[in-house]
Structure 1
Amino acid sequence: MTNTVFPAQPTPLVDIVGSDEKFPVNRIYCVGLNYADHVVEFGEDPDKVDPVFFMKPGDAVVANGVDVPYPQHTENFHYEIELVIAIGKEAYNVSVEDAEDYVFGYAVGNDLTRRDMQLALKDKGMPWDPSKGFDMSAPITEIHPVEEVGHINEGRIWLSVNGDVKQDGNINQMIAKNAQIISKLSELYVLKPGDLIYTGTPSGIGPVVPGDVMDGGIDGLDTLTTKIV
């Protein structure tokens, strides 16, 4: 048994639909600028912008229905509804054709963002990390295993705030598809069982304030509900 100077932090866990077992989270990868309408929303040309990758800490996950405090250091706190891929096998340099073999399942996620901080950091040419990877910035539903739902490459993706629909798109509008994302990430990193990939958001991003309730879903998966407090 290895002695440590203080107790190790517990492994973040996500529920699995229909199982008492949990999905232990390793890393959280995220894809930015992966829907053409969202690229346009940012004032960019979809034909000249490639999706970008960034990360959140594994312990940023927040279970469905858990309240999220409005974070410090922002006055423009945004939602981004996303399909989440859960990785179930180690993947390194996998081809696009084989990439889906490494998927354990899918979930609905919300890539919460300090938008004003993100834009300020981008203007300075600095990394986005503090604007994306803060505590409780990755709400997520239970994971649906592939055996139950199959591979999700199309279907409505939406988010409402206080019942008012703000985002409404389709998974098939993603620029980099699921298999392409997994393949590319496996070139940059050794993907591990327990990794989550937030695959990007459609247009309609906007701010929330304390008291707002966000509901978001994807066809074939669950509705993710988060209240800002």
Structure 2
Amino acid sequence: MTHLFDPAPVFALPVTGEDATYPVNRIFCVGRNYAAHAAEMGATVDREAPFYFTKTPVHAVQSGATLPYPPATDDYHHEMEFTFALSAPLFRATRDEAEAAIFGYGTGLDMTRRDLQAKAKETRRPWDISKDAEGAVVLSGLTRKDAAGPLAGKAIRLTVNGEVRQDATLDDMIHDVTDILVHLSTLYHLAPGDLVMTGTPAGVAAVVEGDVLHGTVDGLQPVDLTLTARE
């Protein structure tokens, strides 16, 4: 049996110092995981449990991409994020099981059509089109957990055209990596290939045609994106 058309290629990320790549199966995103960002968005923080939305791997691009400013928006925002990826299945995991299942860490950009998101919130409709759009997730390569070292104190930053826009530490996350995994594993049968974006610090703002974005987390591969004129 043959396909009617060629299926989308597997989206995979390079791994620091290795030839093999990491194929991405699902992308889970944590919302409002930094108190200062929640405040700047006029939202309250749920400290009891994280909440999630998803992005589609077919919409993902690797760091270093040059993309046109997206359609249907005049308010495109950057959200710099720390990411982690799994190497083992998880379901209703303990903290020890969750920690053991982490493959490695990376950086990412959760790009958002903020005007579309605001309109969806006003009408109490899903805001998938604001978050899960072509090129709206940009991901760095991954660094294995052991090579990356402890997360405590690591800075997370984003510059646009060399100017600092976002600057915090991973310690500012409300729900840490293990908390997120333990909770997420009560909702899904997690598996290798699943990647989690852990939320963004304060300082999100609009970008325009010609902007160059550069995001870092100490000790990890950076994430870069250049925006060109809209099509």
TM-score by length of 2: 0.94
CA distance in 1, matches of 2:43, 2:131: 20
Moved more, 50-59 or 187-196: 50-59
Alpha carbons of structure 1 residues 186 and 47: separation in structure 2 relative to 1, 3 Å:
closer
Deviation for aligned residue 1:49 = 8.4
Moved more, 68-77 or 6-15: 6-15
**What 5-or-longer segments of structure 2 have no aligned partner?**
none
1:147 corresponding residue in structure 2: 146
Alpha carbons of structure 1 residues 50 and 62: separation in structure 2 relative to 1, 3 Å:
same
1:107 corresponding residue in structure 2: 106
What RMSD, in angstroms, separates the aligned Cα atoms of the two structures? 1.5
Contact 2:76 2:111 in 1 (8 A): yes
2:204 corresponding residue in structure 1: 205
Contact 2:81 2:200 in 1 (8 A): yes
Question: How many residue pairs were aligned?
Answer: 228
Contact 2:8 2:58 in 1 (8 A): no
Give the partner amino acid of 2:216: G
Contact 2:83 2:196 in 1 (8 A): yes
Cα deviation 1:51-102 (Å, max 9, x = unaligned):
3200000122211211122111111000000000111111111123431111
2:20 corresponding residue in structure 1: 21
SS in 2 for 1:167: strand
Deviation for aligned residue 1:179 = 0.5
SS in 2 for 1:120: helix
2:8 corresponding residue in structure 1: 9
CA distance in 1, matches of 2:6, 2:190: 26
Alpha carbons of structure 1 residues 49 and 162: separation in structure 2 relative to 1, 3 Å:
farther
Query: Which runs of structure 2 are paired with 1:77-96 in the superposition (5 Å)?
Result: 77-96=76-95
Establish whether residue 183 from structure 1 lines up as the match of residue 182 from structure 2: yes
SS in 2 for 1:40: helix
CA distance in 2, matches of 1:104, 1:39: 29
TM-score by length of 1: 0.94
Contact 1:31 1:52 in 2 (8 A): yes
2:38 corresponding residue in structure 1: 39
Deviation for aligned residue 1:152 = 2.5
CA distance in 1, matches of 2:168, 2:11: 30
**What 5-or-longer segments of structure 1 have no aligned partner?**
none
CA distance in 2, matches of 1:128, 1:167: 24
